[in-house]
A = this chain, B = another copy of it.
Amino acid sequence: MQLTNVREHNLGTVLNTLATSDSPLSRAGLAQATGLTKPTVSRLVDELLSAGFLLEHAPTRSAGAAGGRPSTPVSIAEASVVGLGASVSADHVAVNMIDLRRHVIASAETPLTRAPTPRDAVVLIADLAAQLLAETPHTRVSGICVSVPGRLTPDGRRIRSAPNLGWDDAPLAELLESAPGLEALDVSIENDARLVAETELVNRRGEGFVLVYGESGIGGAVVVDGDIQRGANGWAGEIGHLCLDVDGPQCRCGRRGCLEAYASYWAIAQQSMQAGSGYISEFFAALEGAEREAAIERIGSSLGLALAQVLNIVDLPTVVLGGYFRHLAADVAPLINAQLDRHALAAEAGDVRIETTTAAARPSLAGAALRAIQPVFDAPAEWIRRFGG
């Protein structure tokens, strides 16, 4: 490593150690936790303090160290630097703000009765971001990451296709970069299911699983030994458009018999008497009686068949259900298992585990925010410079 890289790396280590610590740490404590020498830690802490990333607490004298020098614990300064996460969905646009402690310190959303256009989505995101930033006047922003239920172009700048938003080749990064209030920010975009998988990996480090995420559409991710598979175009894990029946119902993507044509919100709501104008999750929560049973049956059997195909190809031990599938998991799991018994080789080796996402609500939004703040941990010196510190 070159010297500047060593410094970046060590600053990141100190910052990350403090971010994941439950309580303030002294320089000696940090040296112990990081394996760095105390002089090195002191120099790094001073740098982070003067940039305003850290906060110095009142000196304490450790028990039993009578006569020793008092130590001055430091911690991450709340809201000193934030990242913005955003998510675009068929039923809402949301923005949240995460600080270096990786705590969500503010969030706001706008419910929608129909999917937004790319331009509308960007206007809504910029408005929500401005609102959150106005409420947090002295902060500095590392960037914004936007979660979208669609497939990106390989350069990560455009949405190639998001059928459940009705988007087709939308220049989202460009639109975001020219939106009022966002011009100065680093902008990135990511597929929603991939961000859910990243959020999930915080609790499933190193694990292998297939994630299925039901929201505007049906997204997915294949995770092998803790690595989210990308694929040649970045589209690996697109379970929503697996063909279950070549003569099956028309999908919004233009193809026939896709999983989404059976088990997506859109497909289920079409068959329901209930108006589907509120939040997608509320729609599923409100289903009852015969309509709920029909939806469970349709989702469980189609999702099970699709998962059997996926498992025959990737042979992973666990399926993780997220989004609205999470709320239906107890009822759809037996139907999924029945389909796996029928069509998946893996069933010969014993039951595949059907689990649910462990993160809180809006895991794609949480994942977007984590992405937005991560660059500060990767290159703190670079950000101190950019913030004019």
Contact = CB atoms under 8 A, between A and B. Distances in A.
Given A242-B309, A246-B305, A309-B313, A232 B346 contact: yes
A305 B243 CA distance: 8
A153 to B, nearest CB: 9
A351 B230 CA distance: 18
A317 interface: yes
A94 interface: no
B235 A315 contact: yes
A139 interface: no
A300 to B, nearest CB: 14
Contacts of A345: 151, 233, 235, 238, 241
Contacts of A315: 229-238
A292 interface: no
Interface in A284-300: none
A141 interface: no
Contacts of A343: 241, 243, 246, 255
Contacts of A154: 349
| A160, A237, A238, A305, most chain B CB atoms within 10 A | A238
Contacts of A335: none
Contact of A239 (B231, B232, B245, B313): B313
A233 B255 CA distance: 33
A224 B229 contact: yes
Nearest to A240: B312
A152 to B, nearest CB: 11
A251 B348 CA distance: 16
A302 to B, nearest CB: 11
A221 to B, nearest CB: 10
B346 A239 contact: no
Contacts of A241: 312, 343, 345
A222 interface: yes
Contacts of A316: 231-232
Nearest to A301: B246
Given A232-B349, A237-B315, 19 more contacts: A229-B315, A231-B314, A231-B315, A232-B346, A233-B315, A233-B345, A233-B349, A235-B345, A235-B349, A238-B313, A238-B315, A239-B312, A242-B309, A242-B312, A242-B313, A243-B308, A243-B343, A309-B309, A309-B313
